[in-house]
Structure 1
Amino acid sequence: MDWLQIVLLSFIQGLTEFLPISSSAHLILLPVLTDWSDQGLAFDVALHLGSLAAVVLYFRHELVAMVGSWGRSVAGRGTDEDARLAWWVILATIPVGVVGLAFKDSIEVVMRSPLVLAGGLIVFGLLLGYADWRHRGSRNEYHMHWHDALWIGLAQALALIPGTSRSGITMTAALLLGLNREAAARFSFLLSIPVIVLAGGLEALSLAESPAPVAWLDLAAGTLLSGISAYLCIHFFLVFIKRIGMQPFVVYRLMLGVALIWLFG
């Protein structure tokens, strides 16, 4: 790969992994707009590793508190709000893990078309717009209940439909359940950690079976650039939605969906 391809793919992955605008839609558009060949599985793993490092680094203090409290709760030494939040992240991850393992291949084969992507962008974009427009939530992520986590987890499973956006659908569900904007985003970002680990782990297993040569410099650059863009994305997104909300992303989703229909319809 040339350096322009490495830079663009890295920044697209870093940004769209956490913004509610669907990474799959952007990654399918890029080959259409360029003559680049597929970047390969190894580079995909590197990009996911960068995104994972960014979210872990950003929430490092919360994660340390959550893991410590969760360990104490497992040992029967009481449950506090950090332990509960850790349990809710685990609970909300189960549906997408089960559905992903059972149907991921068939979903990718049957539904991964530009028009399906366009439909997902538009339909779930409008739902995000409605949830943000009507939101009156004041709860943060520490005031969630187990059934909130379960509903958000079930919504996250819908992200296997191309164009849905994992972050978008989890934020939508959280807003509809009464969380405030920042809490909806923060819980969505925390949920990304086990999801990226699971998805990256499956890709890494496939990569281990591949005889293809590894371009280590390209992988290192992709990991670093993806991590930087993802970290900045998380930081500025949390500031942005507090002031303006989700509506600019809804408009962007609708425009991208229409563009896909125009290009492939």
Structure 2
Amino acid sequence: MAQQLLMTWWEALILGLVQGLTEFLPVSSSAHLVLGEYVLGLNAAGTGSLTFEVFVHFGTILSIFTVYNLRVKELVTETLAASIHPGEWAARFRERPPFRTAVYILITMIPTGITYVLFKDFFERAFDDPELAAGMLLVTGVLLLLTLLRPNPSGELTGGKALLVGVAQSFAMIPGISRSGATICTALYQNVNPERAANFSFLMLLPVVLGATLIKTIELAQQGLGEAWLPLAVGTCAAYGAGILAIKVVIDFVKRGRLQYFAAYCFLVGGLGLWLL
């Protein structure tokens, strides 16, 4: 049975731009997609909204590859080298920052993977609930405000801190909980340097979304794309272009330690959503 994705290419373009621009801002791209689909009348069951969500996230992944191409190459190279020489893992972890970062990313995947396996059905249903997305935006606003309790963080990332960042990413599978906001804030709460926290938040997204995209691609190959390929392609390309712009803007903004200003936006959109829905 062919995948049903009931949206036009221009609706996919709008949602792809929304995804790309909001993925790296701590305002929950998933909430904007869910609410955007509701406004455009695309939230009915069977529209394949989670599949679209996964593919536009893949577009933002491509933007990460573009902006962080050298760091990604280092991560891949160090990981492959370590896999060939397992006896050198301890030394590489101490002496090679790219390999250490790769290990920390792997650690974040543990709670994320467990949470997805246990609550997959809940997360899929959540993408049809715009009221939940609006309510969770208020939670994101609170998370952003709490960064005021940790002024001028300057520490480094550790394995334990990475594990808690992974737990935060698990909760961010609920639409409305900003993934970048939850992970960056959790790192800041633990006294991690802001630029380091932001870079790690973006890089740790790579294996999660690549895995989700692979799973959805296999499902689509089994079901048949039908006419779904056009909106998926348009949305993915739009998210890619917008994501490149957003990364460059947000990295500079995060370094200044002004995340709490996004809280007002989350409260406004979340409050309006709950009031109007």
Change over 3 Å in CA distance of 1:126–1:45 after alignment to 2:
closer
- 1:6: which partner in 2? 12
How far apart, CA to CA, are the structure 1 residues paired with 2:57 and 2:100? 27
**Cα RMSD, aligned residues only:** 2.4
2:92 matched to 1:86?
no
- 2:142: which partner in 1? 126
2:172 matched to 1:159?
yes
- Give the structure-2-normalised TM-score: 0.84
**Aligned counterparts, 1:140-155, within 5 A:** 143-155=156-168
2:218 matched to 1:209?
no
CA contact (8 A) 1:132 1:172 kept: no
Counterpart among 20, 24, 31 of residue 25 in structure 1: 31
Percent identity between the two aligned chains: 35
CA contact (8 A) 1:14 1:228 kept: yes
CA contact (8 A) 1:128 1:172 kept: yes
Farther-moved stretch of structure 1 (227-236 vs 200-209): 200-209
CA contact (8 A) 1:181 1:245 kept: no
**Aligned counterparts, 1:28-107, within 5 A:** 28-35=34-41, 38=47, 43-74=52-83, 75=85, 76-77=87-88, 78-79=91-92, 80-107=96-123
Offset at 1:236? 0.7
Change over 3 Å in CA distance of 1:97–1:167 after alignment to 2:
same
The amino acid across from 2:69 in the alignment is R
How far apart, CA to CA, are the structure 1 residues paired with 2:70 and 2:112? 26
How far apart, CA to CA, are the structure 2 residues paired with 1:222 and 1:95? 29
The amino acid across from 1:104 in the alignment is K
Change over 3 Å in CA distance of 1:119–1:2 after alignment to 2:
closer
Point out where structure 1 has 5 or more consecutive residues left out of the alignment: none
Farther-moved stretch of structure 1 (128-137 vs 170-179): 128-137
2:157 matched to 1:138?
no
CA contact (8 A) 1:132 1:247 kept: yes
How far apart, CA to CA, are the structure 2 residues paired with 1:107 and 1:184? 26
CA contact (8 A) 2:49 2:127 kept: no
CA contact (8 A) 2:13 2:231 kept: no
2:234 matched to 1:221?
yes
Counterpart among 246, 253, 258 of residue 245 in structure 1: 258
Point out where structure 2 has 5 or more consecutive residues left out of the alignment: 1-6
- 2:195: which partner in 1? 182
Tell me how many residue pairs correspond in the alignment: 261
The amino acid across from 2:75 in the alignment is M
Local SS of the residue matching 2:172: helix
